[in-house]
Amino acid sequence: MKRFYTTGTVSRIIRRLADPIPVTAEDIEEWKAGFSLPWNWDLWDEAMAKLPPREFRPAIVGLLVDSEGYLWVADRKDRARSEWSVFDPDGRWLGTVEIPLEHVEWIGEDLILGVNEDPDTGVEVVQGYRLSR
């Protein structure tokens, strides 16, 4: 990741090696199930069969800077959980945190807020979790 000054000059480069996460058939079916409108998946599957298969998930699926200036990089998002690499304001990697939220919306000094979908009703529910640094 690169951070830039407003002039366009690079101010910091942050790197972290991570093993690639393979794309599974289950991942694809879960992704399809997330659509609320009906879709002709036969046509989709036919079109996708003409392309080279995607072997791995994207390395970064989300970014968030918390209220304390820490960078949270979403390495993985699934239904009802997400995995984040946390970097301090100087760019040092502190570790990885698994959060039981599909969508993290805000991270404060001691609180994480996000949204999960209730599996029974389909209604989005705001949830909060205490954060110990």
Report the chain's terminal Cα–Cα distance, integer Å: 23
62 or 39, which is more confident: 62
Please tell me the total count of domains within the chain.
Answer: 2
| Residues 39, 51: Cα–Cα separation, whole Å | 20
* 47-67 pLDDT tens trace: 888 999 889 988 899 999 999
53 and 37 housed in the same domain:
yes
- pTM assigned to the model: 0.79
Return mean pLDDT, the chain: 90
Reported for 59-65, long-range contacts at CB under 8 A and 24+ positions apart, including other chains, are 59/18, 59/20, 60/1, 62/104, 63/1, 64/104, 64/107
| pLDDT classification of 36: cutoffs 50, 70, 90 | low
Phi/psi at 64 (5° precision): -155, 135
Is residue 48 a part of any domain in this protein?
yes
Is residue 52 a part of any domain in this protein?
yes
Is residue 9 a part of any domain in this protein?
no
Domain range for residue 111?
59-133
34 and 95 housed in the same domain:
no
Phi/psi at 31 (5° precision): -60, -45
Residue 3 has pLDDT above 80, yes or no: yes
Residue 21 has pLDDT above 70, yes or no: yes
CA nearest to 49, candidates 28, 34, 27, 78: 28
16 or 129, which is more confident: 129
50 and 64 housed in the same domain:
no
| Residues 129, 24: Cα–Cα separation, whole Å | 30
* 67-122 pLDDT tens trace: 999 999 999 887 778 999 999 999 999 999 999 998 999 999 999 999 998 889 98
Is residue 73 a part of any domain in this protein?
yes
pLDDT of residue 40: 83
Is residue 110 a part of any domain in this protein?
yes
66 and 128 housed in the same domain:
yes
